[in-house]
Structure formats: C-alpha cells, structure tokens
C-alpha cells in the first residue's frame, strides 16, 4: 500500500538503528512499545456530534471519502441516536448510503439501544437488497456506550449503569447474530466531572460484562480529560490482566487539559496499540464548558510516526482533511500539526 510510510523497521534485531526507530523501551519496563498502531477516526461521529455547527450532508460525505483514502483502517461515521437528541447526525441514512469506502476500511456506527439497532439493521438490509452481490456493506462494526459513573450515565442516557448494561447486552447479542463486530465504549473511565474518582475495579467490571456479552473490543474513554499518564499506564496493565489477551483494548483520550498525547504514550507503554481520535481535534464536550475534544488524529499520527510506530496513514493527506474541515467551520481548530505541518528533518 503506497500510503504506508516507510518507517519503523519490521525486522527484529536490527541493532541500534532499530532501537532508535521503533523499539525504545520505556523507563522502568523492559517491554518494547508496539510497532504498529491502529487508529479509528471518530471525527465524523464524536466530532461532528459535539460541534455547535451542523455541516451539510454533502460536505460530510466528501470529508469521509477523503479520510478513508488517507490509509486509515477504521472510521466511525455516524450514529443511530434519535435525530431529536442529536440533530447533527440526523442524516445517518444519507451519509451511509452515499459514502464511498474501500473494502479494506472498517466502518463503524454508534448504537444507543435496541431501537437504534433496529434502525441500523433495517437500513443495512434495505441497502443490501438494492446493491449488487458482493458490494461492501454500509457498516461493519457497531459501538455501544455507557459511562462508568452513575451520575454521568444518568445525565447522558437517563439510565442507571445496571439498566444500561442490561440493554446493551441485548444489543450486543443481536449485533453479533447479525455478523457485526462489536465495540463497547466506557465513558468517564478515568474520572467523572460529577463524581470525581471512578474506581478502576468498577470500570473493569463493566468491561467484563461487555466482553462476555460479545464485545471484541473495549474502548476506555477519558471523556473530560481527567486522566494522567501514571494512572493510564497502571489502568491498562490491570485491564490486560483482568480481561485477558483475546479482547482488543482501545484508548480514547480527550485533550481537555493538554495531556492527551502524554496519555497515549503511557497507554503504549502498557501495550495498548489501538486508539481513537478526531481529525482537526474536532468534538467539544459540554462538561467542562468550552472543553476541547478528542486528541487530534494528525497530532497522534505525527507522534507515532516520529517514534517509528506505523499507522498506515498518509499524514499530509490527513492534514489536508483537517484543513478542509477547518475551512468549512470557518474557525481555528485545536490541532497542532494542522498549524505546524509534519516534522521536516531536511
């Protein structure tokens, strides 16, 4: 694939050069960092949902089509939350029917509850009937979410954690039966703006339930940017011990306090190789007011590539996507690499 940067030598044991480029052990641990990281671009859902403006559907489709040509392997494109709740994503059907995504890219949609899944499956089936045999499916993965904090979960979805879990277990079972890959996303995994400390044991208990219900991937969200690197490193080591090796652990950091990339490094040190981020650093958060969104995908990709960790993403092409969305929104976005460009070593 031509979009894959030629970095981070793949052959083990290439001596000092290898060590410099990809396998630098972190202080205090002999474990090398992952050589390859998977990134799910969540800007079209998590980003657009949390920006004040609603982009015209046509522009969203163009942006998604450009993003999936940067070498990204995963993208979350929309949600099946009721349009009254999230008007920014009321065009889910039109977006899913119009985007042009290579078969190699995994498309994910957010599913809030069984009714959302009903709507998603109905759309998938109606499209399948209209498509030629062998055409790519409109989406491959679903993600379901809840908060690890009772107060945040109630404010977000008006349910207790127990009620949310019971509902999502039903969603996961049906999604699996419909041959969809499932991701469970746990918000406020590292702290809650209402409750403060969120016990890791509770987060891992929720993760275990989601895993047992069929989630192959669990993402831990630092929804309001409260996590610090020590906490993240320790948390993901415990998560791996508790959840075992057959579930993918994903880190979803927000840059609310500028610590997003430091937390990425800590997660890498704990063996995490899967991340979620938004191009342009799209996606604010209502709490605290005015907070920034997810870490910027181009900042994440720039750091990983400079560390010799391969992502398969063409950084200049990704920066061009961020530049486009910044032009459309007509205001400066939070991404650093968007301003500075990729590192040039001359």
Category of 225 on φ-ψ map: left (φ > 0), alpha (ψ -120 to 50) or beta = left
C-beta closer to Zn ion: residue 123 or 300:
300
In angstroms, the CA 274 to CA 200 distance is 20
Which span (25-33, 45-53, 132-140, 160-168) binds Zn ion, by CB under 5 A?
45-53
50 binds Zn ion (CB under 5 A): no
Rounded to an integer, what distance in angstroms lies between the CA atom of residue 271 and that of residue 293?
24
Does the annotation mark 285 as catalytic? Answer: yes
Stretch 279-318: interaction string toward Zn ion, x if CB under 5 A: ---------------x------------------------
The catalytic residue among 182, 192, 285, 321 is 285
The answer to whether 227 touches 191, Cβ cutoff 8 Å, is: yes
Stretch that binds Zn ion, among 44-52, 76-84, 153-161, 178-186 (CB under 5 A): 44-52
CB 50, min distance to Zn ion, A: 8
108 binds Zn ion (CB under 5 A): no
As to burial, measured by CB atoms within 10 angstroms (0-12 exposed, 13-18 middle, 19+ buried), residue 204 is buried
The DSSP H or E segment spanning 23 is none
Say if CB 86 and CB 49 are below 8 A apart.
yes
Residue whose token pair is 């979009």:
3
Total residues interacting with Zn ion, rule: CB under 5 A: 2
Q: Which is nearer to Zn ion, 33 or 301 (CB)?
A: 301
Q: Does 51 bind Zn ion (CB under 5 A)?
A: no
Give dist(CA 245, CA 88) in Å, integer. Answer: 37
For Zn ion, the closer CB: 47 or 138: 47
Q: Give the C-alpha separation, 40 to 21, whole Å.
A: 24
Residue 127 Cβ vs Zn ion, minimum distance, rounded to whole Å: 28
Nearest Cα residue to 113 out of 158, 75, 149: 158
Cβ distance to Zn ion smaller for residue 70 or 256: 256
Give the whole-angstrom CA distance, residue 30 versus residue 174.
42
Q: How far apart are CA 19 and CA 26, in angstroms?
A: 12
Q: Applying CB under 5 A, does 46 fall inside the site for Zn ion?
A: yes
- Are 213 and 169 spatial neighbours (Cβ–Cβ below 8 Å)? yes
User: CB of 152: closest distance to Zn ion in angstroms?
Assistant: 13
In the complex with Zn ion, the residue whose CB is nearer, 34 or 283, is: 283
Q: Kindly state the smallest distance separating residue 264's Cβ from Zn ion, in Å.
A: 14
Which residue, 183 or 310, is less far from Zn ion as judged by CB? Answer: 183
- Cβ(149)–Cβ(195) under 8 Å? yes
Pull the structure tokens for residue 61: 């489709």
- Distance between CA atoms of residues 244 and 237, nearest Å: 10
* Residue ranges in contact with Zn ion by CB under 5 A: 46, 294
Query: Which residues are identified as catalytic?
Result: 285
């Amino acid at each position: 694939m031509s979009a894959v940067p030629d970095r981070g030598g793949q052959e083990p044991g290439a001596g000092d050069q290898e060590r410099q480029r990809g396998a630098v052990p972190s202080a205090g641990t002999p474990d090398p960092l992952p050589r390859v990281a998977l990134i799910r671009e969540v800007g079209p859902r998590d980003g657009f949902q949390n920006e004040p403006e609603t982009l015209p559907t046509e522009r969203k489709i163009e942006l998604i089509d450009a993003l999936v040509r940067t070498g990204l392997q995963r993208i979350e494109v929309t949600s099946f939350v009721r349009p009254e709740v999230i008007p920014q994503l009321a065009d889910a059907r039109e977006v899913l029917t119009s985007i042009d995504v290579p078969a190699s890219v995994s498309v994910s949609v957010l599913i809030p509850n069984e009714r959302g899944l009903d709507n998603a499956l109905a759309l998938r089936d109606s499209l399948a009937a209209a498509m030629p045999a062998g055409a790519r499916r409109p989406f491959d993965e679903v993600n379901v979410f809840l908060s690890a904090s009772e107060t945040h979960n109630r404010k977000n979805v008006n349910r207790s954690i127990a009620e949310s879990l019971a509902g999502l277990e039903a969603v996961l079972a049906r999604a699996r039966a419909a041959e969809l890959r499932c991701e469970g996303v746990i918000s406020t995994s590292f702290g809650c703006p209402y409750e403060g400390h969120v016990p890791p044991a509770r987060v891992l208990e929720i993760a275990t339930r989601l895993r047992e219900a069929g989630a192959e991937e669990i993402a831990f969200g630092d929804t309001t940017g409260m996590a610090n690197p020590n906490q993240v490193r320790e948390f993901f080591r415990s998560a791996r011990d508790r959840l075992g090796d057959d579930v993918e652990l994903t880190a979803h950091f927000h840059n609310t306090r500028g610590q997003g990339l430091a937390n990425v490094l800590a997660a890498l040190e704990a063996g995490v190789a899967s991340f979620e981020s938004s191009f342009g650093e799209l996606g604010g958060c209502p709490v605290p007011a005015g907070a920034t969104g997810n870490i910027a995908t181009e900042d994440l990709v720039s750091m990983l590539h400079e560390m010799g960790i391969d992502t398969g993403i063409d950084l200049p092409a990704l920066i061009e996507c961020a530049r486009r969305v910044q032009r459309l929104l007509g205001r400066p976005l939070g991404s650093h690499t968007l301003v500075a460009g990729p590192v040039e070593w001359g």
